[in-house]
């Protein structure tokens, strides 16, 4: 007996595994691309000649100083003394000798404190320092 193939049958591809993989990849990339940018709340001063740095700030170690003269390194964490700051920055400089540091100092922080921080950073080997300031109108600066 001779059988004839039936041409009426449609070939179906099960799409559910592919859809599952697309959703899993989507979730993976959303989670992997989430950037935590929690900064210590500080009123950064304004300056007439402030400008946005050409280099991305992601590459810089952030040191924050609030009006109570509490020093924080990186994101969150506990306050540090000048000696603890010096030791922790020294470790970072050993990892990367071209370490770049951004200092976010509150507008009411005294210059003497900023000077102590710069000296501690210099003693630790960090020499590429910038201060955070917002660009402002000269009439707004007090």
Secondary structure (H, E, C), 15-53: CHHHHHHHHHHHHHHHHHCCCCCCCCCCCCCEECCCCCC
Question: Is residue 26 assigned to a domain?
Answer: no
Q: Which residues, given as ranges, of the chain have pLDDT below 50?
A: 138, 140-142
Please report the pLDDT score of residue 23 as a whole number. Answer: 93
Domain span at residue 98 reads 46-135
Beta carbons of 61 and 74 less than 8 angstroms apart = yes
Structure tokens at 26: 């989507």
Question: Is residue 2 assigned to a domain?
Answer: no
Please report the pLDDT score of residue 138 as a whole number. Answer: 44
Question: Is residue 127 assigned to a domain?
Answer: yes
Element (H, E) at 100: strand 100-105
Please report the pLDDT score of residue 142 as a whole number. Answer: 45
Please report the pLDDT score of residue 25 as a whole number. Answer: 92
Q: How far apart, in whole angstroms, are the C-alpha atoms of residue 74 and residue 104?
A: 11
Write out pLDDT tens, residues 9-25. Answer: 677 888 899 999 999 99
Question: Is residue 94 assigned to a domain?
Answer: yes
Please report the pLDDT score of residue 73 as a whole number. Answer: 85
Q: Give this prediction's pTM.
A: 0.57
CA angle centred on 119, ends 118 and 125, rounded to 5°? 90
Please report the pLDDT score of residue 102 as a whole number. Answer: 83
Question: Is residue 98 assigned to a domain?
Answer: yes
Q: How far apart, in whole angstroms, are the C-alpha atoms of residue 133 and residue 72?
A: 17
Q: Tally the domains of the chain.
A: 1
Please report the pLDDT score of residue 38 as a whole number. Answer: 60
CATH code of residue 97 = 3.30.420.270
């Amino acid at each position: 007996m001779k059988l004839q193939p039936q041409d009426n049958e449609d070939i179906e591809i099960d799409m559910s595994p592919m859809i599952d993989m697309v959703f899993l990849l989507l979730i993976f990339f959303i989670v992997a691309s989430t950037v935590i940018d929690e900064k210590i709340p500080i009123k950064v001063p304004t300056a007439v000649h402030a400008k946005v740095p050409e280099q991305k700030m992601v590459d810089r170690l952030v040191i924050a100083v609030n009006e109570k003269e509490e020093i924080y390194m990186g994101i969150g964490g506990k306050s540090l003394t000048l000696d603890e700051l010096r030791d922790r920055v020294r470790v970072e400089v050993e990892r990367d000798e071209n370490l770049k540091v951004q200092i976010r100092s509150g507008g009411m922080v005294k210059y003497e404190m900023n000077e102590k921080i710069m000296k501690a950073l210099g003693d630790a080997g960090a020499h590429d320092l910038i201060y955070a300031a917002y660009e402002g109108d000269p009439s707004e600066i007090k």
